[in-house]
Amino acid sequence: MDKEVALDFFAAIFGGRHHVPKLKECGYGWSITPLGHYSTYDGGLLTALVLLAHDRSIRVEISACNMQRVRIAIHQRTSVAEYTYDRHPTLEQAVEAWRKHHPAPASQQETRS
C-alpha cells in the first residue's frame, strides 16, 4: 500500500492531513496510534472508519497499543479476489451478507417502508 493512499484514507477520517497522527509502516500497510474515543454515532469515527474501509477496499485492524492508545492498521485489498485474505467486500456486499444472517428487527422494517 502506498503511503499517499494511507494518508488520504486517514485524512478522510480525521478531517485533513494535518490531523493525521504519525504514519508508521506496518507489514504491507500503515498504522497510526491516535488518542481519542471511537463510537458508532456520537462523533462517528468508528462508523466512518468502517464505511470508508468498505468504500476503498481497505482492511482495518484495531488493536491495543498501550493504556491510552489504540493502533489502527490498514492494508489494501480488492473487492474481487480468489482468496479471502486478499479480498474486501464492498459496503453493499457487506450489508447483504449481514442481513442474510441478521434480519432487521420488525420495528425497523416498518419505519423503512
Strand, coil or helix: what is 59?
strand
The confidence score (pLDDT) of residue 64 equals 93
Largest distance between two CA atoms of the chain: 47
Q: Is the pTM of this model over 0.75?
A: yes
The confidence score (pLDDT) of residue 81 equals 58
- Those residues of the chain that have pLDDT short of 50 are none
The confidence score (pLDDT) of residue 87 equals 73
Phi-psi region of 55 (alpha: psi -120 to 50; beta: other; left: phi over 0): alpha
The confidence score (pLDDT) of residue 43 equals 80
Per-residue pLDDT tens over the stretch 67-80: 889 999 999 987 66
The confidence score (pLDDT) of residue 48 equals 93
Integer Cα distance of 8 and 15 in angstroms:
10
In the structure grid, which three cell numbers stand for residue 67, read together? 493504556
Q: Where do the structural domains in the chain lie, given as residue ranges?
A: 3-88
The confidence score (pLDDT) of residue 79 equals 67
The confidence score (pLDDT) of residue 105 equals 86
